[in-house]
Every structure is written in structure tokens, then in C-alpha cells.
Amino acid sequence: MLLQTLISVQALNDALEQENTVILDCRFYLVDHKKGRYEYEKGHVPKAIFVDVHHELAGKETELTGRHPLPEQEDFADQLQRWGIDQHSRVIVYDDMGGAIAARAWWMLSQQGIETYVLNGGINAWQQQGFPISMDNVIPERSFYRYQVSFPWQITEQKIVENFELDSFVLVDARAKDRYQGENETIDPVAGHIPGAVNRPFSDNLIETGEFKTKEDLLREWNDVASSGEPLVHYCGSGITSCHNVLAMNYAGLSASKVYVGSWSQWAKRMLKAANITS
């Protein structure tokens, strides 16, 4: 089943006055968690609600998880209510990184059955085309509807381990090539990639403007990645930008949904633990 994927800035502008439209500003910066709120306050799409990615799209990191584990299901059900999302909502998410961050929200909401789109080109495209910017701090009215949240599209660390024997899927690493090759690791304590994984940087889904490549180009490129015919499971550093590859595949017309949320940041902890045991 293919998912809803992208929406244009013109279509978003047309949807602004529709009562069921919910807009989420997902700007996030790994080295400065306060910057997202700062950028939101400087100006955002009208009606947009600020999303604290680190706390509202992720749970608390532990010694056993990656850097951005999924939140507890009941916590995320509460969060959906706080954003005013109900069974009639049409949600549009955006960032300023070509959808690299917003795709995480898209992936989490889509598996709840919520109609969700990523703004193609993000707020950069919105501003470049001259659409209005607001500085209002939007506080939504809490929804009465409560979703029964689940995350059926997540792949656990145990499934990754089992796949070394079962060989039932191919892992796709969404990080930049140098990090995949272990040449420039400045975030996680161990460099490299999960054995057997192939590399498809999420940035390869985009053109220079930060908008997505054409469906035709993405279909051709992703068919090359999926040439073995086995299902793909996506991962990255902490389970955020991997969702961008899921988004790109669906936009190209290819079914995809599975993400190893723990990603390299969890796998690196596993490697460190193993090294300590054997040393």
C-alpha cells in the first residue's frame, strides 16, 4: 500500500483555511536543540505548531536504545491530542532540510492511519515563492479524539540480528557516504556500518533546491537499490533521516515502510559492549 507523500507549497496555501488542516513545524538541529524553537519564533508557516523533535517525536535515550527511540505509545497518543489531531485531520509537516526531519513525523503519523504529507521544499520553498510568514505562537485546541497508537513499521535490534541468519531483508543506510564508510564519525562512539548494509544517502533523493527529484528519477534509482528483490529496511544514525528514504520510495511508487529505529547509534552501543566483554 502506497502512502500519501508530498504536498506543494501552492496546495498547502490552498489548504490553510480548511478547518481540518494541521501544520507541524519540525525544524531541528542536532548540535543545538534550542535552535528549532528560535527559528520558529523568527517566522513560520501560518497556523504551524512548533514540534520539539527531541522530546515530542522521540522518547528518552537509555544505554540500550539509539539516540532517538520512539516515545511510549500512550505518550504519543497524548501528544497527538495536544496537537489537536483527530480522525478528520489532514496533517502537513515541514522543516528546512528537504524533509530530512519532517519525514520522521510523517512516518510516525502515517502508521496511525493519519493523512499526512511532507511539504516539498519545506519552509525554504514556501518563502521563496512569496507565501506569508507568521510569528504567532500557535497553541492548538486539544483534540477529544484519542488514537490507539502503535508502531508496526519499526524493526527492532533483535530482528536485525536474526536477519544475519534469515537474510529476509536488505538494510539501507541513509547516512552520508563518509559516515557509512567509517571515515568521518563525529556523533557516535564507533564508526562504520551494520554488516551487509548498502548505502543510499537521503540527500540523494533531493535536487539542489531541497525539493525531491522527479518520481521517474527516484523510481529508477531506487529500483537499482532494490535490485535483489528482497524487502528493504532503512536505518541512519538515530532513526530520523532514514524515514526520508521511506518517503522517497513511496513518492516514487514503491511500497516501503520499515525502519530500524535504533539505527547506528544503538548498534554502536552493541559493538562497544561486545568489545568490553572480550577485552
Catalytic residues: 236
Inter-residue contact 115 to 5 (CB < 8 Å): no
User: How far is 92 from 23, CA to CA, in rounded Å?
Assistant: 5
Residue 102: all three cell numbers together: 519532517
User: How far is 151 from 153, CA to CA, in rounded Å?
Assistant: 6
Inter-residue contact 193 to 200 (CB < 8 Å): no
User: How far is 80 from 92, CA to CA, in rounded Å?
Assistant: 14
Beta strands in 151-195 (DSSP E): 154-155, 170-173
User: How far is 32 from 49, CA to CA, in rounded Å?
Assistant: 19
Residue 267: all three cell numbers together: 548498534
Residue 120: all three cell numbers together: 516539498
User: How far is 58 from 2, CA to CA, in rounded Å?
Assistant: 25
Name every residue whose Cβ is closer than 8 Å to that of residue 121 and which is 6 or more positions away in sequence.
9, 98, 128, 209, 210, 211
